[in-house]
Amino acid sequence: MKKKFYVTTPIYYVNAEPHIGHAYTTVLADYMSRLHTLLGYDSYFLTGTDEHGDKIDQAAKTHNTTPQEYADRISGLFRKTWADLGIGFSDFIRTTEKRHVDVVQKILQKVYDAGDIYFGSYGGFYCVGCERFFTEKEMVDGKCPDHDRKLDFIEEKNYFFKMSKYQDWLIGHIEKNPDFIRPERYRNEVMALLKGEVLEDLCISRPKSRLQWGITLPFDQDYVTYVWFDALINYISAIGWPDGEKFKAYWPAVQHIIAKDIVKPHGIFWPTMLKAAGIEPYRNLNVHGYWNMQDAKMSKSLGNVVTPKDLADRYGNDQMRYFFLREMSFGNDAKFSEDVIIDRINFDLANDWGNLVNRTINMLGKFFNGALPAFNTAEAADRDDLVARFRSAAADYIALARRFQTSAGLEKLWEFIRYLNKYIDTLKPWQLAKDNNTALLSSVMRNLLEAIYSIAVLLSPVLVSSSAAIIAALGAEGKPRDTGTLASFTNLDDGRAVGQLGILFPRLEKRVPDAGEAKKSETKKQGEKTMAVGAEGLVDISEFAKIDIRVAKILTAAKVEGSDKLLELRIDSGLDERTIVAGIAKWYGPETLPGKKILLVANLKPATIFKRTSNGMLLAAKAPGDDRPVLIEIDDAIPAGAKLG
């Protein structure tokens, strides 16, 4: 029987059309589902829409329609967007569906019958946008901190869930299962909330006198269910709780993916709700950061929202998927801009991967009339070394990707891709052809084509269309795709005609701003400099506080091929595992660095150095008159992730 994998996105609220924040989460879930299918799992992928609550009721009135009609329209846009992007979900759940409503009412009745829901009175400041009450401590000048709107004081009788009853249980569960919420920074955030204050009980209803648009409580027809005690239950209603075969099969393997703004509902509300209902908690909660545009969170109110379809139409769907999965280091925020996208397409896809595929197939046409040559055992052309490098890259890629560290995982594959381009430059197939060294030339070309096939298979969950085109051109659609077989480098058929692919990833030119835009940009930069540094050359404390300096542990170190100055370091920042590039190779051998604890500037914008992405910078000191950098080493008793300050 196949192992199970169940991945969910949050169900998206239908108060706005889909944007790239939604697209990233959904592409990531789609990728994880495809990857696990490739690895032999029985994978199930759930997404959908959240359709009840105050905001939907108000939005419908604004658009002069009913809440159901409004929800139907926006939910349809989400479904169409995912179809346009080739998202292969297994199910699309809507919270207005009967199958969901029935399960929500069963859960409510079960928890109510157990004595964990009670009726009481509550007064507080309410935000329609957040659909929750705020304490005075949480407000800013009497306003919602997220929406900058004055809050209304509402006092009414409602039903409450005894969430506080399960506080100690949840603390213990997270301590026993440290991977329950990941990355670690978000687990720490939840634990700080749980250990720093007594949980309030959760208000789970709204009176119908104020809100009709919701699921009626099964034990009181005058009230509807509050949004979180409705929306969160989608993860089990879609798979047939309590007795459905899908629930029994997939729930034990569930992986939730969410953005960091909804950590509290998923990290505290949801597990306590499950415990109260007698349901095992989810396997893992995987939390990602925001996409920032011009150093700000993307939002409709700021007018900087880009639609997923715009992005795919402009750059290509495979290119968009690769950018999402490669650019964001999971758990951290990432920068979204046209320049960053174009750099990823040009450097990674066009220069590295596309160039490898195109030059290899072009040489095959020139030297062997486009037919796959047989491998010559007498002239192996370093096949054992290539296989070993592929096995290592594939193992690292899969291990990192399965922990949602897609950026680090893809970099492992790209190290092998870059090595294959170097392999061509070193062995010079054109010279072998000129020298009539057909035996070695045959093996070189066969090694390259076998490696390209194996990489294309591993990349197929990311580059869906182009990988399929490469595999088809190699005549390998029906070949086994398990990792052991891929690493054999014996998958292709001798004499098979290889099809032409053309340019897989055309290089893109960056748009040059006009004079007005350039002047505006320069004025902004000058303003930023003036704000950051005073006339005395002193930095304001508020500016210094923006720098996140942390203790990090070096895991591995390697020289950057082609450079005598650079080392590529894999480090544990306490927040994640990441790669940084440091110019210390002249003074520190790579074998001396693993295990050392250093200081890391953790929130530096990613930089491309020698075709590698550096996600931060280590700190070193220099003595006056001496150019030698000396690493600032930290006592081993201080854990990775400890913050300076």
pLDDT in tens, 450-467: 999 999 999 999 999 999
Tokens of 626: 């001496």
Cβ 325 vs Cβ 35: under 8 Å: no
Determine how β-strand 216-217 pairs with β-strand 220-225: antiparallel
- Tell me whether the omega of the peptide bond preceding residue 513 falls within 30 degrees of 0, making it cis: no
To 5 degrees, how large is the angle CA 157–CA 159–CA 162? 130
Contact 350, 342 (CB under 8 A): no
Per the DSSP assignment, residues forming a β-bridge with 153 are 125
Tokens of 34: 């495809």
Q: Cα separation of 146 and 261, whole Å?
A: 11
pLDDT for 254 beyond 60: yes
Whose structure tokens read 């491309």? 608
pLDDT attached to residue 85: 94
The average pLDDT across 555-570 equals 82
pLDDT tens, position by position, 606-639: 777 766 778 888 988 876 656 678 888 887 768 7
Q: Are 45 and 90 in contact (CB under 8 A)?
A: yes
Please spell the DSSP secondary structure of 85-97, one letter per residue: TT---SEEEETTS
Question: Please, are residues 386 and 451 in contact by the beta-carbon 8 Å criterion?
Answer: yes
Cα–Cα distances (Å) from 97 to 48, 83, 229, in that order, read 11, 20, 15
pLDDT digits (tens, 9 = 90+) for 358-398: 999 999 999 999 999 999 999 999 999 999 999 999 999 99
- Mean pLDDT of all residues in 567-586: 83
The answer to whether residue 529 scores a pLDDT higher than 50 is no
Residue 448's pLDDT band (boundaries 50, 70, 90)?
very high
* pLDDT, position 397: 98
Q: Helix (H, G, I), strand (E, B), or coil: what is residue 240? A: coil
pLDDT digits (tens, 9 = 90+) for 64-107: 999 999 999 999 999 999 999 999 999 999 999 999 999 999 99
Q: pLDDT band at residue 305, thresholds of 50, 70 and 90?
A: low
Q: Which of 296, 288, 238 is nearest to 263 (CA)?
A: 288
pLDDT in tens, 257-286: 999 999 999 999 999 999 999 999 999 999
What is the pLDDT averaged over residues 138-161?
84
Mean pLDDT within 328-337: 90
If one compares 546 and 290, the residue with the highest pLDDT of the two is: 290
What's the pLDDT at 620? 87
What percent of the chain shows pLDDT beyond 70? 90
* Phi/psi at 121 (5° precision): -110, 145
For the sheet with 220-225, list strands across it. Answer: 205-207, 220-225, 216-217
State the first-to-last Cα distance of the chain, in angstroms, to the nearest integer: 52
Catalytic residues: 19, 22, 127, 130, 144, 147, 297, 300
SS3 307: coil
Q: pLDDT for 492-510, tens place per residue?
A: 999 999 998 989 999 998 8
Contact criterion met (CB below 8 Å) for 45 and 36: no
Distance CA 358, CA 403 (A): 32
Residues 47, 11 contacting (CB under 8 angstroms): yes
Confidence of residue 525 (pLDDT cuts 50, 70, 90): very low
The Cα 159–Cα 204 span in angstroms is 6
**pLDDT (mean) for 467-483:** 94
Whether residue 229 has pLDDT greater than 80 = yes
d(CA 495, CA 594): 47
3-class secondary structure, 278: coil
